[in-house]
Amino acid sequence: MNRREFLEVLAAGAAAGLALDAPEAHAQGDADALYRFPKFGNVALLHFTDCHAQLLPVYFREPSVNIGVGAAAGRPPHLVGEHLLKAFGIKPGTREAHAFTFLAFERAARTYGKVGGFAHLATLVKRLRADRPGALLLDGGDTWQGSGLALWTKGADMIAACRLLGVDVMTGHWEFTYGEKRVKAAVESELGQIEFVAQNVKTADFGDPVFKPAATRTVNGVPVAIIGQAFPYTPIANPRHFIPDWTMGIQEEALQKHVEAARAGGAQVVVLLSHNGMDVDLKLASRVRGIDAILGGHTHDGVPQPTIVKNAGGQTLVTNAGSNTKFLGVLDLDVQGGKVADFRYRLLPVFANLLPADPEMDALVKRLRAPHEAKLGEKLATTEGLLYRRGNFNGTFDQLILDAMLEVKGAEIAFSPGFRWGTTILPGGAITLEHVLDQTAITYPQCTLSDLTGERIKEVLEDVCDNLFNPDPYLQQGGDMVRVGGLTFACAPAAKIGSRISDLRLRGKPLDPGRTYKVAGWAPVAEGAQGEPIWEVVVRYLKDRKTIAPRKLNLPRLEGVAGNPGLA
């Protein structure tokens, strides 16, 4: 029996419910199997996205609910659990199965350990670059937001870490929530070698470009153009008042012109570094000609292999590289005769136990954290259950936030936004201030209490649900459904706006469209909203309890999606 066969037997045993063997004994073998693979071609692009300011290794549970409707039903990225493993030929019970799915999450997380962390990512980047001279490192954005440290330093910690990591080009989304001035200052004088590109951010008055649309680099003698695509709906999904003079949108026509300009300028490889979200990228790839690959983010989908989309100009690869520094995408291109002849792609899970920390990055992260370490590490409570966020409708950490809002604000109903960032805590783990901020650290954290009529509440749910399940990806915003506390309802994702949400009930009684209810929420997009930061509400709730019992998820009763492979 060779090593591979042995690992397969081990995997089969694990799938059959047997205990996983002591993993440290196989760590070297696992590391080799994952990270030692032959180089291919002559142009290598390394890609991470949506790291959400996670400098240290974390646990991150992938979703068990990620429903696709219309043309998106049953195709990547809308596959979860065993459906995903089957589609990509990943063996159940393996390290990779753990990386890409929620299956047996707690047990596998204890076996394989934490993922990501900039020091471990740095080691992987250095190894790959040693094999692939000239490889470019691309950051898809949502880099400066997602932790207490990043919020307190307005992203300066992440800028320092990304400079040291050797990021070449980035684009953005949550970066913009620090406001126009902060972003401009960073781009003009703090990013060092990093070029910030976004073809679809324009001034609201004359449509002048705010950032460079694209960066060009020569890799092994091959001219490569990287066009940036910021999250097109930032002024809608996040507060517009932070960026009042900027307008975004998908801007297909402008993109087509940039692609043609890049080709005319000699680019043999044209890549879109995109924060559109995977569904939007798939549609865009079918309509815009001449892009070799869209390296995508925003929707946090860890998709093992690219989707190949045919279009009038040939074909475009579409990838999505997960979140929280859990993955590094490696796209090896073989460029011959002025065009891409072939490719290899891997989405490498970054297992902290398999990749020693890079000493230089480790030292930087420690130095950045040192002034705040004691505050971040304050232990607020212990959780008895698994706390996570990802999923279309709710996560246990969101439920905890909802429960805290209902109690602390004295609300009948609570809403928590369907963000996709936020790390995971294993049962028995301490909940620190850092964990709470991992779920809540934004520049508009106000927790509000409002009077809403039953009719308005239904409208809000319908509106958000359409942003998730509209069959036209260009009309989606890439977040998950608003999490709802106190109120039960039914949801039919494949229905039309106005008829997806039904049977709204509060404590078993139908919601009265004409009555007014006390509704708590946070992250208001309107300017001037007042309220204490959401993390203070959650901290108070945690400190009052000390021990957090497993949360009971308030989930809508789903209609019309039985058998959907986006549903575990």
Contact set with other proteins (CB under 8 A): 142, 173, 203, 205-206, 208, 231, 233-238, 240, 247-250, 253, 277, 298-300, 417-421, 459-460, 463-464, 466-467, 470, 474-475, 477-480, 482, 497, 523-525
Nearer to other proteins, 63 or 479 (CB): 479
Nearer to other proteins, 342 or 527 (CB): 527
CB of 551 vs other proteins, minimal distance in Å: 21
Nearer to other proteins, 114 or 202 (CB): 202
Helix residue ranges per DSSP H, 411-556: 433-440, 454-469, 534-545
Coil/strand/helix, residue 487 = strand
CA distance 313 to 260: 11
Nearer to other proteins, 155 or 524 (CB): 524
CB of 233 vs other proteins, minimal distance in Å: 6
CA distance 121 to 287: 34
- Cα-based torsion angle of the residue sequence 104, 485, 437, 327 in order, rounded to the nearest 10 degrees: 40
Nearer to other proteins, 452 or 504 (CB): 452
CB of 175 vs other proteins, minimal distance in Å: 13
Q: Which of 468, 469, 467, 460 is nearest to 487 (CA)?
A: 460
Indicate the helix (H) or strand (E) that contains 519.
strand 516-522
CB of 421 vs other proteins, minimal distance in Å: 8
Nearer to other proteins, 298 or 409 (CB): 298
CA distance 562 to 81: 15
Half-sphere exposure for 560 (CA within 13 Å, toward CB):
16
Under 8 Å between Cβ of 500 and 493? yes
CA distance 47 to 140: 7
CB of 468 vs other proteins, minimal distance in Å: 9
Nearer to other proteins, 158 or 243 (CB): 243
CB of 183 vs other proteins, minimal distance in Å: 16
Angle ∠(59,62,68) on CA atoms, nearest 5:
165
40, amino acid identity? F
Nearer to other proteins, 236 or 558 (CB): 236
DSSP tally for the chain: helices H, then strands E:
18, 25
Coil/strand/helix, residue 356 = coil
Give a three-class secondary structure readout of 96-159. HHHHHCCCCHHHHHHHHCCECCHHHHHHHHHHHHHHCCCCEEEECCCCCCCCHHHHHCCCHHHH
Nearer to other proteins, 227 or 464 (CB): 464
Handedness of CA 158, 163, 165, 169 (dihedral sign): positive
CA distance 133 to 367: 30
Give the number of other CB atoms < 10 A from CB of residue 509: 8
CB of 406 vs other proteins, minimal distance in Å: 19
CB of 17 vs other proteins, minimal distance in Å: 36
Nearer to other proteins, 112 or 233 (CB): 233
For 309, residues 6+ apart whose C-beta sits below 8 A from its C-beta are: 282, 285, 286, 315, 316, 317, 318
CB of 320 vs other proteins, minimal distance in Å: 12
CB of 65 vs other proteins, minimal distance in Å: 16
Helix residue ranges per DSSP H, 16-75: 27-35
CB of 59 vs other proteins, minimal distance in Å: 20
Among all chains, which residue has been given the structure tokens 């142009």?
Answer: 43
Handedness of CA 87, 93, 94, 99 (dihedral sign): positive
Give the number of other CB atoms < 10 A from CB of residue 181: 9
CB of 474 vs other proteins, minimal distance in Å: 5
Nearer to other proteins, 491 or 523 (CB): 523
The two three-digit tokens of residue 83, written as one number: 């459906």
Give the number of other CB atoms < 10 A from CB of residue 86: 12
Strand partners, 216: 225
Nearer to other proteins, 217 or 420 (CB): 420
The two three-digit tokens of residue 140, written as one number: 């898809």
Nearer to other proteins, 185 or 475 (CB): 475
CB of 284 vs other proteins, minimal distance in Å: 12
